[in-house]
Amino acid sequence: MPEMSLQQSLNLALRHACEDDDRVLIFGEDVGRLGGVFRVTDGLQDKFGEHRVFDTPLAESGIMGMAVGLAMAGWRPVPEIQFDGFSYPAIDQIVNQVARMHYRSRGALPMPITLRLPSFGGIRAPEHHGESLESLFAHVPGLKVVAPSAPDEGYHLLRQAIVDPDPVIFMEPKARYWHRGTVDPAEHADRPPVGTSRVVRPGRHATLVAWGAMVARCLRVAELAAEDGVELEVLDLRWLKPIDAEGLAASVARTRRAVVVHEAPLTAGLGAEISALVTERCFGELRAPVQRVTGYDVPYPSGALEDEYLPSVDRILTAVQTTLEYRRG
């Protein structure tokens, strides 16, 4: 199996999607000639032409409006908004058109749109270049939301998103673009369906639930905990809408404790939804309340303060210690 970075695996997924379906169109700011800020679309315009891979004006609402029109005309648009913090001007189109058009038209107008959104922090970028918007998009009926954590996941999840009949917000963890791993495109036909999580490290004392770049951080925590004889299970949620409630419950039922880790602020973050699902489905098995390790309830900081904001290994280990030491009554 070839080894490649997440950035390269996403590029390969887009290349294969364009080869498999002439209706796939890739567009956004600088995705054509430049190949995107993170070079995810590098070389695609040369291969497929300017009519299928093309640049747009700097107008996020216009990009998503174009995607809606193209989807209505039978295309499969794959727009890119350059940074997650730039997506706010397009929220009107995403919520009122992309998410609702299929419902509003009683099924006559499907919206097979995959919005690629470089997301989260970890690259010390300036303000508005790092956000964690998963709970905003997951709250909107009609949207699916997914966040890969590794190169092989990036390839297969993006391929799944593009062929899905519903609109998908594809949140790419910027901090993981350059991390490498093996990717086997031949495995794609055997991948689990949309809405499936994966256990990336089995354990028995507690479950760490994460997605995107936080999966790698939780794996590091699990390695450190193992030195003290604590076996932590790491669950990569992958699909944030729909959430794999059965897979989540199965993992927590095995370990009887859970810690949810995400970069977004604590209040009304996706960790709250996960905590509710665990409580509803595993109340009898739980030996401790679900712990959450998150960003703080402040605007996402610029790069100078990013390390103070993001969930650290020490903060996650502290939450693990808290849940392991909890005693009822």
Q: Do 77 and 135 belong to one domain?
A: yes
| pLDDT at res. 242 | 97
> What is the arithmetic mean of pLDDT over 116-123?
94
* Assigned token pair, 120: 């989260």
> What is the arithmetic mean of pLDDT over 269-285?
97
> What is the arithmetic mean of pLDDT over 165-191?
94
Identify which has the larger pLDDT, 128 or 24: 24
Q: In this structure, what CATH number is given to the domain that contains residue 48?
A: 3.40.50.970
Per the CB < 8 A criterion, the answer to whether 217 and 313 are in contact is yes
Q: In the predicted model, what is the mean pLDDT of the chain?
A: 96
> What is the arithmetic mean of pLDDT over 23-34?
97
Closest by alpha carbon to 40, among 148, 168, 187, 199? 148
pLDDT value at 298 more than 90:
yes
Bridge partners, 24 (sequence order):
76
Min mean pLDDT across 112-116, 125-129, 286-290, 294-298 is at 125-129
Q: Please tell me the distance from the alpha carbon of residue 308 to that of residue 274, in angstroms, as a whole number.
A: 24
> Residue 310: pLDDT band by 50, 70, 90 thresholds?
very high
Bridge partners, 150 (sequence order):
none
Q: Do 287 and 269 belong to one domain?
A: yes
Q: Do 275 and 170 belong to one domain?
A: no
H-only helix segments in the chain: 6-20, 44-48, 60-72, 91-93, 101-104, 134-138, 151-163, 214-226, 245-255, 270-282, 306-309, 313-325
Min mean pLDDT across 36-45, 50-59, 180-189, 243-252 is at 180-189
| pLDDT at res. 188 | 84
> What is the arithmetic mean of pLDDT over 59-77?
97
| pLDDT at res. 202 | 98
Q: Do 59 and 182 belong to one domain?
A: yes
| pLDDT at res. 327 | 82
* Assigned token pair, 161: 């998103």
Q: Do 155 and 238 belong to one domain?
A: no
Q: Please tell me the distance from the alpha carbon of residue 119 to that of residue 276, in angstroms, as a whole number.
A: 25
> Residue 190: pLDDT band by 50, 70, 90 thresholds?
confident
Summarised one tens digit per residue, pLDDT across range 94-108 is 999 999 999 999 999
Q: Please tell me the distance from the alpha carbon of residue 49 to that of residue 182, in angstroms, as a whole number.
A: 29
* 283: amino acid identity, one letter: F
Q: Please tell me the distance from the alpha carbon of residue 271 to that of residue 3, in angstroms, as a whole number.
A: 32
How many CB atoms are located within 10 Å of the residue 301 CB? 17
> What is the arithmetic mean of pLDDT over 257-263?
98
**Could you tell me the residue range of the domain that residue 257 belongs to?**
198-325
Q: Do 124 and 220 belong to one domain?
A: no
Summarised one tens digit per residue, pLDDT across range 32-60 is 999 999 999 999 999 999 999 999 999 99
> Residue 329: pLDDT band by 50, 70, 90 thresholds?
low
Identify which has the larger pLDDT, 272 or 328: 272
pLDDT value at 1 more than 80:
no
> What is the arithmetic mean of pLDDT over 161-166?
97
- Structurally, the chain folds into a number of domains equal to 2
* 222: amino acid identity, one letter: A
Per the CB < 8 A criterion, the answer to whether 229 and 256 are in contact is no
pLDDT value at 170 more than 80:
yes
Indicate the pairing of strand 232-236 with strand 206-210.
parallel
Q: Residue 108 class from Cβ within 10 Å (0-12 exposed, 13-18 middle, 19+ buried)? A: exposed
Q: Do 143 and 227 belong to one domain?
A: no
Q: In this structure, what CATH number is given to the domain that contains residue 246?
A: 3.40.50.920
Last residue of a domain, one of 162, 190, 218: 190
Last residue of a domain, one of 158, 190, 222: 190
Q: Do 178 and 211 belong to one domain?
A: no
Q: Do 182 and 268 belong to one domain?
A: no
Q: Which residues contact 205 (CB under 8 A, 6 or more apart)?
A: 225, 230, 231, 232, 255, 257, 324
Q: Please tell me the distance from the alpha carbon of residue 182 to that of residue 180, in angstroms, as a whole number.
A: 7
Q: Please tell me the distance from the alpha carbon of residue 204 to that of residue 246, in angstroms, as a whole number.
A: 18
Q: Do 238 and 162 belong to one domain?
A: no
Q: Do 74 and 161 belong to one domain?
A: yes
Last residue of a domain, one of 190, 214, 246: 190
- Active site members: 129
How many CB atoms are located within 10 Å of the residue 114 CB? 29
> Residue 127: pLDDT band by 50, 70, 90 thresholds?
confident
How many CB atoms are located within 10 Å of the residue 15 CB? 16
pLDDT value at 169 more than 90:
yes
Q: Do 177 and 227 belong to one domain?
A: no
pLDDT value at 74 more than 90:
yes
For residue 174, the 8-state DSSP code is G
Q: Which residues contact 290 (CB under 8 A, 6 or more apart)?
A: 258, 259, 260, 274, 275, 278, 279
